[in-house]
Amino acid sequence: MEKYLAGKHIVLGITGGIAAYKSAMLLRLMIKAGAEVQVVMTPSAKEFITPVTLSALSGKPVVSEFFTANSGEWHSHVDLGLWADAMVIAPATACTIGKMANGVADNMLVTTYLSSKARVFVAPAMDLDMMAHPSTVENLRRLRSYGNIIIEPAEGELASHLIGKGRMEEPENILKVLEDYFRRQVSPSPLTGKKVLVTAGPTREKIDPVRYISNYSTGKMAYAISDELASRGADVTVVSGPVSVNASEPSVEVIGVESGREMAAACEARFRDADIAVMCAAVADYTVENPSEVKLKREGNLPPEIKLVKNPDIARMLGEMKAPGQMLVGFALETDNEADNALDKMERKNLDMIVLNSLRDKGAGFATDTNKVTVFTRGNAVAEEFPLKSKREVAADLADIIERRFG
């Protein structure tokens, strides 16, 4: 395996949480990967792990205060910030995250963070309720919007391990994120600068002002794809039905729509400029012909009759518009005769690739944090079948396949 961390300067920031013991392992992995690591601790981190352990592992004195007490030597947070090729804060407590989000520079770690020009990676670790508190959620959102990368365990993984949100990501996975980051600097993704259109979530087809027809899509799969492609440098626009998930990558543009017709209009307007379109939305196939202007009443002998008409097939419409060089990716959500139906959809809609997920597979499809997919690509007789994974990992597999087309 290539050593992308070799010779890299990394500031490892450690804050006061139980997970601080894992930082020693992370440090060891970084050193093993060839990095030069400077540990910076908050004063309370020393309650959880000793500086002696960390300086022995890093081969450098640990920095914690602005001055060395006995000699009066000044530790320059500015120099340290500029020295770093990356800064990793693991574990990051709610307190430090709050200080970083608000520029409260009252210790060596936060001042170094504010002085750093390097990419900053933050691995939160705290109690479940603290993690869910609106102030923490808002502070993390702000850190993301400043361009920092938040490293958290995939939700699917949390569910399968029955461990709560808030647990610090495992050191091996933090190291992998860093390796990916430095690998991308050496060989940027062929998706860099590519314009990508993603459709997400369900659509709502109005019956009257208070009722609608919809489905169980949450948008989790589509937003995971959007984040993954954006993290590889693509310029991503999501045309999204009503969902409660958000994009984690600050560069992702979200255009909110409600009905299938609105989604079709938004996609039609943007597809010409796109290099890639990923149709992940669960668009209602039918809409209500004449939605009522007023709330339908219960009174009367007969239930109201609702006449349905076909919604535009957005994937098919884009398939007809597709110009040479554009890539169109569809999804197939099936319950039976899966492969045949998926291949038929790829053909009918003129897709270049179709991602099959079946509701017969446990943990796949709607609403779950995981998915299990089989990918068919045009002109390739052999399908690629993947095991059950978190939706973000599925997104990475799909992005790898899309990259091959542009590589």
Residues of this chain that bind ligand PMT (CB under 6 A): 199, 201, 217-222, 260, 279-283, 285, 311, 313-315, 330-333, 345, 357, 365-367
| Residue number with CB closer to ligand PMT (101 or 283) | 283
| Residue number with CB closer to ligand PMT (37 or 332) | 332
Run of H or E including 40: strand 36-41
Q: How far is the CB of 22 from ligand PMT (least distance, A)?
A: 30
| Residue number with CB closer to ligand PMT (45 or 314) | 314
- Which candidate, 19, 33, 20, places its Cα nearest to that of 175? 33
- Which candidate, 374, 382, 314, places its Cα nearest to that of 349? 314
Q: How far is the CB of 313 from ligand PMT (least distance, A)?
A: 4
Which amino acid appears at position 47 of this protein? E
Beta bridge partners of 121: 88, 149
| Residue number with CB closer to ligand PMT (90 or 328) | 328
Q: How far is the CB of 257 from ligand PMT (least distance, A)?
A: 12
- Which candidate, 17, 248, 23, places its Cα nearest to that of 137? 248
Contact 314, 275 (CB under 8 A): no
Which amino acid appears at position 158 of this protein? L
The catalytic position among 102, 173, 215, 371 is 215
DSSP letters spanning 212-277: EE--S--SHHHHHHHHHHHHTT-EEEEEE-S-S---SSTT-EEEE--SHHHHHHHHHHHHTT-SEE
- Which candidate, 360, 363, 388, places its Cα nearest to that of 373? 388
Contact 176, 182 (CB under 8 A): no
| Residue number with CB closer to ligand PMT (35 or 280) | 280
Q: How far is the CB of 42 from ligand PMT (least distance, A)?
A: 38
Q: How far is the CB of 149 from ligand PMT (least distance, A)?
A: 22
Task: Please tell me the distance from the alpha carbon of residue 107 to that of residue 19, in angstroms, as a whole number.
Answer: 20
Contact 249, 240 (CB under 8 A): no
Other C-beta atoms lying within 10 Å of the C-beta of residue 313 = 18
Contact 149, 121 (CB under 8 A): yes
Judge whether 215 counts as a catalytic residue.
yes
Ranges of beta strands (E only) in 49-159 are 86-92, 119-124, 149-150
| Residue number with CB closer to ligand PMT (37 or 238) | 238
| Residue number with CB closer to ligand PMT (68 or 337) | 337
Task: Please tell me the distance from the alpha carbon of residue 11 to that of residue 38, in angstroms, as a whole number.
Answer: 5
Contact 347, 376 (CB under 8 A): no
308 Cβ neighbours under 8 A, 6+ residues apart: 286, 287, 288, 289
Contact 315, 330 (CB under 8 A): yes
| Residue number with CB closer to ligand PMT (78 or 367) | 367
Contact 153, 169 (CB under 8 A): yes
Tokens 């923490």 correspond to what residue? 136
| Residues identified as active-site | 215
